[in-house]
Amino acid sequence: MPRYYRPELDGLRFLAFLLVFISHWPKPGALELLPIANSVVAAAAQHFWRGMYGVDLFFCLSAFLLTTLLRRELSEFGRVRIRSFWIRRALRIWPLYALALVLGFFVFPRAMIFGIWPPAGTQAYELMIQRHLWPFVFFVGNWSTGIYGFPRSFLIAVLWTISLEEQFYLIVPFVMARLKSRRALFSFCGLAVLVSVVVRAYLARDAHAGTLIHVNTFTRLDSFVVGIALALIMENHKGSHPRALAAFFIGLGGLLTRGNPVELTSLQTIWDYSFIALCCGLVIWASLSSDGLKRALSSRLMVGLGKISFGLYVVHTVMLTNSERMWFWLVDKRGLNWMQSMAIYWLIIITAFGGTVAAAWISYFFYERHFLRLKESFAVVRSRPV
């Protein structure tokens, strides 16, 4: 069976990471580098966290690609090999994820390197281990995060999304195997969105439930569902669309103009995740329907960065934190003028981005790639080459 590989989706993976990276990079006011009240740059920086919806783009992309591959497998062989699917997912995710857990929970807190907080032996560290270790080991870390708050470790705090994806991987092959018709799958998608909206409406009655809603399995189904529906819609898609480029920027604008999901009002909480999911679907559809976008996203640089996007996501917060600490150790921020302050600010970001790319590249080519080669032996419909 021919390999299914769309290099432009690798470029889109990197774009999703870039949105997340922007949302987490330090704000000038937090670094005490600028008189923030009168700074145009600082005013713009207040909106950078909106890139956190990049995780929804990751969710939607995963659902789209896995649905496409499983539907092709079903069409060609008449069934879905669920065991092979789980092995492939485990070989892609578990090696780096397990390494991150070991480093974040045990190595860095004891060695006191890379700014991982809290240090081993403290009450805060013991509490983090007690509340979060086993949930993250068994891929339910999103639930411990929703109940207790984000783990106080820069490396572990972002990994709740991996739990959410693994829960999706557990269910989706059964759905594809049982619901073989497009009509049945569309009905499933509609029901899943309804469940998410109802659960969000119920939880939104509590003004302090923002984090629980943001990481809850049942409130975050929208982006996965849109990815599934888009895969069904595009099963026979060919050629380009004249309005695809405009649709791409409309979708991207939607991702960058919504409020902080943890601080939304009750009404916004109920509907914003559905809106964001539709924006993600629009971005993916446009990326596959515009010749210009295909060329841009399929460039060697974008594809290369997209291949290492999992590693980029895992390490970026650690690099951001330590880039900030390194530059403040090298430079006394007191008495800096506006230009000097901005120079340090951008050096922090550039250094962090460079360190993130370097660490992810090393991880991919010297660690993850060994498991990815093994993963190829379990492939039914082959996708991206290692």
Question: Which 3-state string (H, E, C) describes 198-232?
Answer: HHHHHHCCCCCCHHHHHHCCCCCCHHHHHHHHHHH
- The answer on pLDDT for 154 being more than 90 is no
- The answer on pLDDT for 90 being more than 50 is yes
- The answer on pLDDT for 27 being more than 80 is no
Map out the domains of the chain as residue ranges. Answer: 17-376
Rounded to whole angstroms, the Cα distance separating 208 from 2 reads 50
Rounded to whole angstroms, the Cα distance separating 228 from 187 reads 11
Which of the two residues, 113 and 57, has the higher pLDDT score? Answer: 57
Question: Locate tokens 């914003």: which residue?
Answer: 272
Q: Which residues, 6+ apart, have CB-to-CB distance to 304 below 8 Å?
A: none
Tell me the residue type at 233.
I
Measured CA to CA in angstroms, residue 273 lies from 162, 279, 280, 326 at distances of 18, 10, 10, 37
Q: Percent of the chain, pLDDT > 70?
A: 87
What 8-state DSSP symbol labels residue 34? S
**Structure tokens that stand for 61 in this block:** 């992309």
**Structure tokens that stand for 289 in this block:** 């329907």
Closest CA to 161 of 317, 267, 272: 317
**Structure tokens that stand for 122 in this block:** 């403290």
Please report the pLDDT score of residue 36 as a whole number.
44
pLDDT band per the 50, 70, 90 thresholds, residue 164: very high
Mean pLDDT throughout 188-197? 96
Mean pLDDT throughout 191-217? 90
Q: What is the mean pLDDT of the chain?
A: 88
- The answer on pLDDT for 104 being more than 90 is yes
Is 241 exposed, middle or buried, given 0-12, 13-18 or 19+ CB atoms closer than 10 A? middle
Sign of CA dihedral 285, 69, 61, 268: positive
Mean pLDDT throughout 152-178? 95
What 8-state DSSP symbol labels residue 57? H
Closest CA to 9 of 286, 224, 284, 276: 284
**Structure tokens that stand for 291 in this block:** 């010749």
Q: What is the pTM of this model?
A: 0.92
Please report the pLDDT score of residue 5 as a whole number.
87
Mean pLDDT throughout 335-361? 85
Mean pLDDT throughout 93-118? 86
Q: What are phi and psi of 385, to 5 degrees?
A: -65, 145
Mean pLDDT throughout 68-95? 94
Please report the pLDDT score of residue 346 as a whole number.
85
**Structure tokens that stand for 69 in this block:** 């591959």
- The answer on pLDDT for 40 being more than 50 is no
Which of the two residues, 266 and 3, has the higher pLDDT score? Answer: 3
Q: Do residues 155 and 100 make contact, with C-beta atoms less than 8 angstroms apart?
A: yes
Please report the pLDDT score of residue 343 as a whole number.
80
Rounded to whole angstroms, the Cα distance separating 57 from 355 reads 24
Q: Which residues, 6+ apart, have CB-to-CB distance to 106 below 8 Å?
A: 120
**Structure tokens that stand for 184 in this block:** 């049945």
Mean pLDDT throughout 236-244? 85
pLDDT band per the 50, 70, 90 thresholds, residue 110: confident
Mean pLDDT throughout 325-344? 72
Rounded to whole angstroms, the Cα distance separating 375 from 386 reads 9
**Structure tokens that stand for 159 in this block:** 């990994």
